[in-house]
Amino acid sequence: MKKILISLSVLATVTYAQIVTIIDNGIERKIFLDTNKNSARSIIKDSSIIISFKKDNINLDKFAKKYNLKLKKVISTKSKYYIFINKSKYKDIKLIKLISKENKNIIKTIRPNWGLGMIPR
């Protein structure tokens, strides 16, 4: 009985969730986004993305222009973390997928700038 309940819980989660791949400190991770319209946590608006680069010599202006981003804040120049506002036609999730696919060799971390409750910060 316990296995059936666990299986139903997993099935319900997968049914109402979208799997998003992010890169965190060089490691690809999967996160689940709740897409259930009845859930308060499903209200996700596009905001911004956090990117950290492996290299020091990245031309931020050129990178931002290529993906139609606007540099909002430099979190740390030492660890190379930046917050970019998404001005592109893509939602944050699709843009993250595109950037990580095209720039695997220079991206250390890329993820949405969302808080713990999946609400944009």
The residue ranges of the chain whose pLDDT is under 70 are: 1-20, 31-46, 77, 115-121
pLDDT at 68: 93
pLDDT at 104: 85
pLDDT at 61: 92
pLDDT at 121: 44
Instruction: Count CB-CB contacts under 10 A for residue 36.
Output: 13
pLDDT at 67: 93
Smallest Cα–Cα separation from 114: which of 48, 69, 51? 48
pLDDT at 8: 52
What residue ranges do the domains of the chain occupy? 2-112
Cα distances (Å, whole numbers) of residue 72 to 49, 87, 94, 103: 10, 11, 19, 20
pTM exceeds 0.85, yes or no = no
pLDDT at 1: 63
